[in-house]
């Protein structure tokens, strides 16, 4: 009964973050510091997943878990801190596949995930177990439990060359010029119940400063996600990973240029304008704000370089303020 309702009762409050790897993990650290770890749910790209040595590797999921668990290798931004490489060294002695380096302790994560997958568990259930082992209190939700793979195509002489994400990103060091991207998916690659529920109820949905085409594109390719975000557009704000025409890390600007999307914060805004109502850009790009506003996006500029948890927290705060702007 209304008369018995506690006016101060806590309304469920969840910030959903659409996430790639390193940049998103750093952003999630800041958001966690700002609102508390239990108040965030990270919806993770699985288009980078790869099966090597018979093991299922989920790099973006693991990068976020290791980062929030305080165990990430700070030098690389992926893998575990203080890692040893004895298995890779022994494999190299055989002339085995070592271009994708799996540390000794990191291997345990892939062995564990692969075994549980073989026993019929979903990626969501297994991720829940892995995040608990690392004492991560935020929800980490693979966007789908089905098969989703980002495939990159380049021209090799007269032929089209097909590369898995990790072949492109690590083995070829993102050098090939890309002509198209496909987000290949199995017929069961629908968004999980957990993801749909989170996106439907979230107080805010933040698109992390991840590569739009390689990290967020695969999430958006999952049936139903774009419709849901479009319907909740007022609550969706993106953070540009591009600063002054360059990505802090990785090939985002290069690949955007190759695929005809301007490699600028404006290009990022164009990519997201149907599903987001606002974008946070770096102060170095403040001059693009007027052009971005023409896309009917709210825009704020601030420091977006996350070189400390404090800087990530400040960015998270600006992002949430932009969601709230215009709502009250």
Of 32 and 166, which CB lies nearer to ligand FO1 in the complex structure? 166
CA 1 to chain centre: 42
Among 21, 30, 146, 176, binds ligand FO1 (CB under 6 A): 21
- Taking the least distance from each CB to ligand FO1, the nearer of 79 and 278 is 79
Q: Name which of 49 and 282 has its Cβ closer to ligand FO1.
A: 49
For residue 88, what are its two tokens? 């890779």
Cα–Cα distance, 100 to 320 (Å, whole number): 37
Instruction: Name the one range near ligand FO1 by CB under 6 A: 36-44, 132-140, 162-170, 302-310.
Output: 162-170
CB of 49 to ligand FO1, least distance (A): 9
Element (H, E) at 32: helix 22-35
Burial of 311 (0-12, 13-18, 19+ CB in 10 A): middle
Assess contact for 295 and 269: CB atoms under 8 A.
yes
Stretch that binds ligand FO1, among 98-106, 116-124, 149-157, 263-271 (CB under 6 A): 98-106
Question: Is 101 near ligand FO1 (CB under 6 A)?
Answer: yes
164 binds ligand FO1 (CB under 6 A): no
Secondary-structure breakdown of the chain: helix, strand, coil percentages, each rounded to the nearest 5: 45, 20, 35
Under the criterion CB under 6 A, does residue 270 sit at the interface with ligand FO1?
Answer: no
- How many binding residues for ligand FO1 (CB under 6 A)? 17
Q: What is the largest CA-CA distance in the chain?
A: 75
Range 52-91, binding ligand FO1 (CB under 6 A):
57, 59-60, 62-63, 78-79
- Which of 15, 46, 102, 204 contacts ligand FO1 by CB under 6 A? 102
DSSP-derived secondary structure letter, 80: B
Q: 320: number of CA atoms within 13 Å, CB side?
A: 21
Query: What residues make contact with ligand FO1 under the rule CB under 6 A?
Result: 20-21, 48, 57, 59-60, 62-63, 78-79, 100-102, 106, 166, 169-170
């Amino acid at each position: 009964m209304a008369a018995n309702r506690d006016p101060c009762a806590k309304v469920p409050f969840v910030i959903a973050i659409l996430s790639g790897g390193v940049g998103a993990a750093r952003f999630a650290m800041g958001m966690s510091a700002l609102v508390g770890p239990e108040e965030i749910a990270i919806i993770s790209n699985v288009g980078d997943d790869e099966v090597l040595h018979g093991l299922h590797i989920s790099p973006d999921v693991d990068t976020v878990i290791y980062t929030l668990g305080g165990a990430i290798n700070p030098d690389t931004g992926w893998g575990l801190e203080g890692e040893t490489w004895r298995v890779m060294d022994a494999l190299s002695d055989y002339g085995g596949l070592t271009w994708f380096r799996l540390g000794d302790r990191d291997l345990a994560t892939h062995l564990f995930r692969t075994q549980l997958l073989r026993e019929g568990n979903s990626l969501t259930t297994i991720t829940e177990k892995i995040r608990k082992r690392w004492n991560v209190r935020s929800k980490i939700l693979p966007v789908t439990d089905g098969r989703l793979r980002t495939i990159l195509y380049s021209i090799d002489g007269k032929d089209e060359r097909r590369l898995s994400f990790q072949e492109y990103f690590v083995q070829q060091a993102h050098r090939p010029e890309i002509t198209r991207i496909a987000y290949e998916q199995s017929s069961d690659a629908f968004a999980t119940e957990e993801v749909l529920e989170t996106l439907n109820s979230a107080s805010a949905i933040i698109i992390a400063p991840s590569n739009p085409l390689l990290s967020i594109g695969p999430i958006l390719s999952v049936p139903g996600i774009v419709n849901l975000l479009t319907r909740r557009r007022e609550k969706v704000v993106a953070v540009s990973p591009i600063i002054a025409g360059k990505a802090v890390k990785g090939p985002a600007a290069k690949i955007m240029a190759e695929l005809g999307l301007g490699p600028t914060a404006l290009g990022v805004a164009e990519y997201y304008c149907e599903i987001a109502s606002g974008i946070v850009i770096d102060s170095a790009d403040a001059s693009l704000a007027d052009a971005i506003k023409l896309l009917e996006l709210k825009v704020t500029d601030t420091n977006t370089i996350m070189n400390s948890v404090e800087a990530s927290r400040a960015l998270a705060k600006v992002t949430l303020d932009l969601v709230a702007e215009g709502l009250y």
